[in-house]
């Protein structure tokens, strides 16, 4: 039993020693922390003392300023009474000055108004004076223009009389021209009817596909008679149909009494065949003989010889380029050209 109890004091001693060590460590830790806190608090106290000193100085300055302001206030209160009296006097003087100023303003405004009115009157007087000068100049110009107009009026009267004479002459000429135009229109209508009838007769004779009558712009009429209506190939002797065709042409020519008739013979470009070469060496002779034969026939049907002329043109005026037998046949023809007199051509150009 004794042996088992001996270790307890040792354990207790060890425990106490351990706890003492821990307590000592804790004491030193707290002591260091308290030392640091004390140093911080000491610094804070020093800072608060410095702030307190500054506040005391500021408070002293404020108290001194307050005493100075109270002194100034007492001085101001003493002066306020005098200033009130001066202010009242100034108000009274200001009212008087304001009234005087208002009167001066009204006077100045009235004076300004009268001055503007005077300036306006002067301006109007100047304008009236300028207007008077302008009117005087305009009057002089109008007088000059009136004299010039009267002179021109006299000249215009003379010219008007001349115009009246010219108009009367022109009206007479116009009536004469109208009569001529009416005569021409009647003649043209008669000629057109004759040509229309002739075209129908020629169409019946030759069964042509082209128009055989052509009217030119200058009043000239061209009657084309194909070779097959009048002649056999290479011959200048008229066939049976030629008599009928030329009789119709002569009847149509009766409607063109003042026209000159030119009968033109045309051939193609081929040389004359050997069978008739002795009689017609070239196309010139053949075309001339054909034109002459047609003229003689027209004379037989009553056309005056002095109105006729025959011309052979050979192949110098082809209607179409010769490329085959048909085109050559078309170029072989007699043309009866009715040439109008000069006055008819002029009237035709006038109407166109």
Contact 282, 272 (CB under 8 A): yes
Query: Does 260 fall in a domain?
Result: yes
- Rounded CA gap, 282 and 269, in Å? 10
User: Residue 74 pLDDT more than 80?
Assistant: yes
User: Residue 249 pLDDT more than 70?
Assistant: yes
How many domains does the chain divide into? 2
Query: Does 280 fall in a domain?
Result: yes
What are the pLDDT digits (tens) for 293-343?
A: 999 999 999 999 999 999 999 999 999 999 999 999 999 999 999 999 875
Query: Does 164 fall in a domain?
Result: no
243 versus 20: the higher-pLDDT residue is: 243
Sequence-distant (6+) residues with CB within 8 A of 27 are none
Q: Which of 63, 89, 115 is the last residue of a domain?
A: 89
The model scores a pTM over 0.75? no
- Rounded CA gap, 214 and 47, in Å? 142
Query: Does 212 fall in a domain?
Result: yes
Query: Does 24 fall in a domain?
Result: yes
User: Residue 88 pLDDT more than 80?
Assistant: yes
Give the pLDDT band (50/70/90) at residue 9. Answer: low
Query: Does 289 fall in a domain?
Result: yes
- Rounded CA gap, 194 and 30, in Å? 161
Give the torsion sign (CA, 159, 165, 167, 169).
negative
φ and ψ at residue 231, rounded to 5 degrees: -135, 160
The confidence score (pLDDT) of residue 345 equals 55
Q: Which of 45, 60, 89 is the last residue of a domain?
A: 89
Query: Does 116 fall in a domain?
Result: no
- Residues of the domain holding 345: 208-351
Q: Which of 89, 112, 139 is the last residue of a domain?
A: 89
Average pLDDT in the chain: 84
- The mean per-residue pLDDT over the stretch 243-252 comes to 93
The confidence score (pLDDT) of residue 225 equals 94
16 versus 112: the higher-pLDDT residue is: 112
- CATH number (domain holding residue 327): 3.30.1330.60
Q: Which residues pair with 335 in a beta bridge?
A: 224, 264
- Rounded CA gap, 314 and 331, in Å? 10
Query: Does 342 fall in a domain?
Result: yes
């Amino acid at each position: 039993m004794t042996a088992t109890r001996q270790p307890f004091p040792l354990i207790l001693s060890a425990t106490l020693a351990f706890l003492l060590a821990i307590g000592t460590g804790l004491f030193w830790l707290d002591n260091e922390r308290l030392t640091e806190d004390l140093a911080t608090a000491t610094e804070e106290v020093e800072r608060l003392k410095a702030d307190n000193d500054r506040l005391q100085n500021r408070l002293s300055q404020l108290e001194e300023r307050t005493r100075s302001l109270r002194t100034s206030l007492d001085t101001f209160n003493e002066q306020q009474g005098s200033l009130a009296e001066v202010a009242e006097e100034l108000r009274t003087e200001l009212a008087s000055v304001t009234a005087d100023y208002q009167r001066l303003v009204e006077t100045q405004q009235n004076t300004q108004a009268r001055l503007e009115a005077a300036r306006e009157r002067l301006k109007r007087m100047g304008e009236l004076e300028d207007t008077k000068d302008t009117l005087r100049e305009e009057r002089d110009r109008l007088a000059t223009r009136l004299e010039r107009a009267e002179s021109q009026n006299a000249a215009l009267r003379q010219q008007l009389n001349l115009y009246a004479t010219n108009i009367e002459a022109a009206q007479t000429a116009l009536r004469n021209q109208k009569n001529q135009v009416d005569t021409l229109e009647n003649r043209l209508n008669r000629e057109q009817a004759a040509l229309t009838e002739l075209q129908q007769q020629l169409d019946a004779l030759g069964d042509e596909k082209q128009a055989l009558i052509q009217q030119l712009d200058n009043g000239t009429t061209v009657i084309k008679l194909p070779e097959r209506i009048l002649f056999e190939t290479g011959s200048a002797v008229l066939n049976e149909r030629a008599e009928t065709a030329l009789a119709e042409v002569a009847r149509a020519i009766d409607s063109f009494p003042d026209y000159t008739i030119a009968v033109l013979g045309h051939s193609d470009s081929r040389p004359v065949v050997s069978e008739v070469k002795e009689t017609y060496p070239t196309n010139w002779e053949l075309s001339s003989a054909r034109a002459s034969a047609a003229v003689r026939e027209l004379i037989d049907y009553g056309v005056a010889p002095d109105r006729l002329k025959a011309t052979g043109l050979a192949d110098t005026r082809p209607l179409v380029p010769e490329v085959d037998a048909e085109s050559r046949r078309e170029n072989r023809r007699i043309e009866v050209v009715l040439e109008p007199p000069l006055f008819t051509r002029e009237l035709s150009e006038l109407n166109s």
